[in-house]
Structure 1
Amino acid sequence: MRVTTDLWVSALLRRVFGAGGFAAVVKRGATEAGAVFVLARGRLGELALFGPAPQTSYDSAKPDERFFSLLGAGEDAAALDARLEREKKFDPDIWVVEIEAGAVPVEDLIAVKMP
């Protein structure tokens, strides 16, 4: 059984704060099953946007895990904001969580799958 998005995001926030980082929910989506997008900010200004991984990334043995893929990276915040706006138009129930992970790699906080 997959946990609700609300509970999963709360756990992510706790993991980030527990690792000495900062996190905030920028946009709250559907409580039960909203898609989650994570905007990771580095301390030197670099940005990375992670979104739900494609269905082909999921293993039938562990269908309850949430996997993410890198959607964009760099220092161009406007391009990543534009991508998020397109996602919001497509699905108004998305969640956007912004994190600054600190010394912990983002990959230690969320499960990232490479395409």
Structure 2
Amino acid sequence: MRVKSEIWIRAYLRRCQAEGVPAVVVRRGDEAAGAIFICVDRLDGSVALYGPAPAGIEGGETERRWVACFKTATASGAEVSAYLARQSRFDSDLWIIEIEDKQGRHFLGEDAIIE
């Protein structure tokens, strides 16, 4: 069984705080099972976006896995906003977390699958 979304997010925000990286909840979703999207604003006009990995990824039943939402490493803020708006029309229970880090660190560790 996977950790509830709200608990995972609280731990993630603490991790960002420990690294000295600002992080905020931009949109609050379902406490138990809302999908989570992580926006990494590099403060230069580019944003990396990570979302839930597709079902069937090994270990995905018990741990959260992540994929980059764009084929390129980063996108513009407008592209990310449009993508998230489409996702929120599909799933009204999603969470959006935004962090600001010039280095582009996402703190998702090896759970991030970058294609």
TM-score, length basis structure 2: 0.86
1:75 to 1:104, Cα distance in 2 relative to 1, 3 A: closer
Following superposition, the deviation at residue 27 of structure 1 comes to 0.3
8 Å CA contact retained: 1:20, 1:101: no
Instruction: Describe the superposition over 1:27-78 as per-residue Cα deviations: whole angstroms up to 9, x where unpaired.
Output: 000000000001101143321011101123233xx73110110012435211
8 Å CA contact retained: 2:45, 2:77: no
Instruction: Describe the superposition over 1:14-36 as per-residue Cα deviations: whole angstroms up to 9, x where unpaired.
Output: 00010110100000000000000
How many residues align structurally? 111
More displaced 10-residue stretch of structure 1: 74-83 or 3-12: 74-83
Verify: 1:46 aligned to 2:46, yes or no: yes
8 Å CA contact retained: 1:40, 1:99: yes
Match of 1:92 in 2: 92
Following superposition, the deviation at residue 3 of structure 1 comes to 1.2
- Aligned counterparts of 1:104 and 1:96: Cα–Cα separation in 2: 17
TM-score, length basis structure 1: 0.86
Match of 2:79 in 1: 79
Note the 1:1-115 alignment, pairs <5 A. Answer: 1-59=1-59, 63-72=61-70, 73-101=73-101, 105-106=105-106, 109-110=107-108, 111-115=111-115
1:104 to 1:85, Cα distance in 2 relative to 1, 3 A: closer
8 Å CA contact retained: 1:57, 1:113: no
- What is the identity, as a one-letter code, of the residue corresponding to 2:23? A
8 Å CA contact retained: 2:21, 2:101: yes
Unaligned runs of 5+ in 1: none
Unaligned runs of 5+ in 2: none
Identity of aligned residues (%): 35
Q: CA RMSD in A?
A: 1.8
1:105 to 1:27, Cα distance in 2 relative to 1, 3 A: same
